[in-house]
Amino acid sequence: MKGPHNIIRLIRTGATLERTGAMDVVLEAFRAPPHLRFAARLLGWPFKWLGLKGDPALPPATRALTALGPAYIKFGQVLSTRPDIVGEELAQQLKYLQDKLPPFPTEIAKQMIEAELELPVSEIFSEFSEPVAAASIAQVHRAQLADSGEEVAVKVLRPGIERAFRKDIDAFYLAARWIERLAPFSRRLRPLDVIAHFEGVVMGELDLRLESSSAAEFAANTEKDEGFRVPKPHWFLSSRNVMTLGWAEGIGLNDNDLIDAAGLDRRIIAARVLQLFLNHALRDGFFHADMHQGNLKVAANGDIIAYDFGIMGRIDEYTRRVYAEILMGFIRKDYRRVAEVHFEAGYVPADRDIDEFARALRAVGEPIFGMDASRISMARLLSYLFEVTERFGMATRTELILLQRTMVVVEGVARSLDPRINIWEVAQPIVERYIAESIGPKAMLRDMVKAARVLARFGPRLPALIEAQLIRSGNPPMPAVVERRVPPLAWLLVGAAFASGFGLSALF
């Protein structure tokens, strides 16, 4: 993690952006202020000769990111879904990063499969195609199983990908430390924690056994979701570096012309993508966290098909309720309640003014409602929201990073299909249904059942726990008292817990 190679890596990043001509494109897309442009030039121009050349056939930004490596490509994939932030032209250029990167040779892929599965490829598959898609982490081949004739997708990790990612992440850690030291105000954003979170996500994506597990869990959770499909994994043909899934035919959500030619309504598809994501995040607490267009297709009947389950998000029930209440507050324009939820959850320091925070939130929310989405500048809104978080001392919540990032990507996908979509109107029925089921009398009873069951499990340990607490408090009980009085009280509590637990559980 330490060493001069990380400094060189960061300098080379700036130099590569300069050499490929991407520096001007990126700074202009983000409307960078003059002082930031000067700093970027200072980092890139003197060392231009150190920059990576990249593929001259590609546009500048795409050329630079592909040359810099997989972690930078991941960043570009996120930006490719946000033309409202980086501009339509740059977003179109970056779509190349989703699934059209240069593949590695098929023979190497076959050698990796044989080494992992310990069987010749010819015995496993009767047909095995050239790569049909190639992204930053892996590439996909279409194949047919020799024993059953079933068509499958075979995903194979790029050779040496883990080492390449680690080099990038090491440099990101160094950059985060510099940012914290040179800009103390940035510490509330916890840049080191953000990089650590990113590292954990990426390292999990590099083990296809974990992705197979995620695909199986996601398929089970969404089996009854109308208009949504998840290909199921073939466990006996999957390992750390190879994963085999059922094949599902569809049109990529990055090809609007083909979707239109197929007679599908892009407005319906856009709304479905957004509602499915919210449903999975709120209902299940387990969601696809890499939902760019390269990982989504639409079938001939309009069903959404999801692929690539290397990055999945998980949020606990309490956080889901907080998130839903915040969304619902915005939908109802109840900014006071949105502010209260932030304070109750500890997202805003308690010494700040709740009314002032509510007023700032109104300035974020009001421009969105009743306005054509194509007229909303998401870049300006995000900029103002950042100012609000800084003003009120809000720290970065690492447990929400993946959820927030995915929401940005999903909204970008929906907008690319329907530029006039209003995310709040589309989200309202999903959020209202979740709140009706999760925040109210029925939810309270369900919580009581769970508490009773936990208490019941700890029943046998209650006497010892009570005695230990009394001893710690400096009032050790007499043995006779403990023997005569504590157990009956403890078991009375346990009995009540069992009774209420079994009784209430019949209601759900």
Phi, psi (degrees; rounded to nearest 5) at 304: -85, 130
Which of 290, 303, 351, 447 is labelled catalytic?
Answer: 290
All residues at 6 or more sequence positions from 148 whose CB lies less than 8 Å from its CB, including other chains: none
Token digits of residue 399 = 């447990």
Answer yes or no: are the C-beta atoms of 116 and 156 closer than 8 Å.
no
Q: CA separation (Å) from 340 to 62, 131, 334, 336, 434?
A: 43, 52, 10, 6, 19
CA end-to-end distance (rounded Å), the chain: 51
Q: CA separation (Å) from 61 to 52, 93, 133, 254, 433?
A: 13, 8, 21, 19, 42
Q: How far is CA 163 from the centre of its chain?
A: 23
Q: Mind spelling out the 3-state secondary structure of 20-78?
A: CCHHHHHHHHCCCCHHHHHHHHHHHHHHHHHCCCCCCCCCHHHHHHHHHCHHHHHHHHH
Active-site annotation holds for 290: yes
Point out which residues pair with 314 in neighbouring strands.
286
H or E element, residue 140: strand 138-145
Residue 460 corresponds to which amino acid? Answer: P
Q: What amino acid positions are annotated as catalytic residues?
A: 290
